[in-house]
């Protein structure tokens, strides 16, 4: 049996994919209203995270941050309820040191752990095309290949914590590229060109990317309903900044885009899609 803890924007379609692939799935979410619809896909609804994992051999977590994962695993009884040999697959985006700490604490109980954050957004979660970056024991990753296949493409990227490092690097690229596409949109419109035509014109060239495809389209249509909230993008960039300091690095592009996301979130953009950074940059340019 698989337990899935956290059925928000990303967790719900992931749990649905697992259930539709034929795996018995039990789900739990802090807001039960976000878990209940999964019953239509065959999932069982649990009243608590400890209830959800009873009898589970694999537990997925997709929660807001490291504190939420720690709370569910160690304060709400999940670790105590799991049998020896079970696997916790944490798909949340959290700081690498916290992921390593969770792995050590679970190992003391005979429970295996993978930090396996994902990229691809709600679209990828729904379609089963997520990029999954797994840190931990490669043999454990291999043993779950059929489970991961229902969600997307998994790559073992290194030891415990490596999945989270790779996710942070992914989020760096996403954030900087969103900023670059947004600034280009502002430039071409100010110069008299059509944003939509510009995007179409450069598709397939060296500037092609999933960001240009999906978020460039959002910017043209001005559709900023959250697939990935700007508050979560900022959280990830803050984690990058922490690792930058820990590793004695200087990442000037990341520092600048983090500054702009922080200003956007502070001015009310927290719940907007991260492609909504365009709105912040447009506001800056109206002042000039």
Q: Which of 34, 105, 145, 167 is catalytic?
A: 167
Annotated catalytic residue 167: yes
State phi, psi for 88 to the nearest 5 degrees. Answer: -100, 125
* Integer CA distances (angstroms), 133 to 93, 115, 215, 276, in order: 11, 8, 22, 26
164 and 117 Cβ atoms separated by less than 8 Å: yes
Fill in the DSSP letter of residue 95.
Answer: -
Question: Measuring CA to CA, which residue among 4, 100, 110, 117 is closest to residue 52?
Answer: 4
Please write down the long-range contacts of 239-248, taking CB distance under 8 Å and 24 or more positions apart: 239/93, 239/94, 239/95, 239/168, 240/168, 240/171, 240/172, 242/95, 243/95, 243/96, 243/165, 243/168
Q: How many CB atoms lie within 10 A of CB 177?
A: 18
In total, the chain counts a number of residues equal to 288
Whole-angstrom distance, CA of residue 228 vs CA of residue 250? 26
SS3 155: strand
Whole-angstrom distance, CA of residue 125 vs CA of residue 11? 8
Helical (H) or strand (E) element with 103: helix 96-107
Burial of 270 (0-12, 13-18, 19+ CB in 10 A): middle
Reading the block at residue 150, the tokens are 């229902």
Which are the catalytic amino acids? 167
């Amino acid at each position: 049996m698989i337990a899935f803890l956290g059925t928000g924007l990303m967790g719900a379609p992931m749990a649905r994919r697992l259930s539709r692939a034929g795996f018995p799935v039990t789900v739990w979410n802090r807001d039960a209203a976000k878990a209940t619809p999964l019953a239509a896909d065959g999932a069982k609804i649990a009243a608590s995270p400890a209830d959800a994992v009873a009898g589970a051999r694999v537990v997925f977590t997709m929660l807001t941050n490291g504190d939420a994962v720690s709370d569910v695993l160690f304060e709400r009884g999940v670790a105590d309820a799991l049998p020896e040999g079970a696997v916790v697959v944490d798909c949340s985006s959290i700081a690498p040191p916290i992921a390593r700490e969770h792995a050590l604490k679970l190992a003391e109980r005979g429970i295996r752990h993978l930090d396996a954050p994902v990229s691809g957004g709600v679209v990828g979660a729904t379609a089963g095309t997520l990029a999954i970056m797994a840190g931990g024991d490669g043999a454990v990753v291999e043993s779950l290949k059929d489970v991961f296949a229902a969600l997307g493409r998994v790559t073992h990227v290194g030891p415990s914590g490596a999945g989270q490092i790779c996710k942070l690097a992914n989020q760096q690229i996403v954030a900087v590229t969103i900023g670059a596409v947004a600034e280009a949109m502002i430039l071409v419109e100010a110069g008299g060109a059509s944003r939509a035509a510009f995007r179409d014109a450069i598709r397939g060239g060296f500037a092609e990317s999933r960001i240009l495809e999906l978020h460039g389209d959002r910017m043209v249509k001005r559709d900023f309903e959250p697939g990935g909230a700007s508050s979560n993008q900022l959280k990830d960039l803050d984690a990058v900044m922490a690792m930058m300091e820990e590793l004695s690095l200087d990442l000037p592009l990341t520092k600048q885009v983090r500054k702009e996301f922080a200003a956007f979130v502070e001015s009310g953009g927290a719940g907007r899609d991260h492609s909504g950074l365009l709105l912040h940059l447009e506001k800056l340019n109206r002042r000039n």
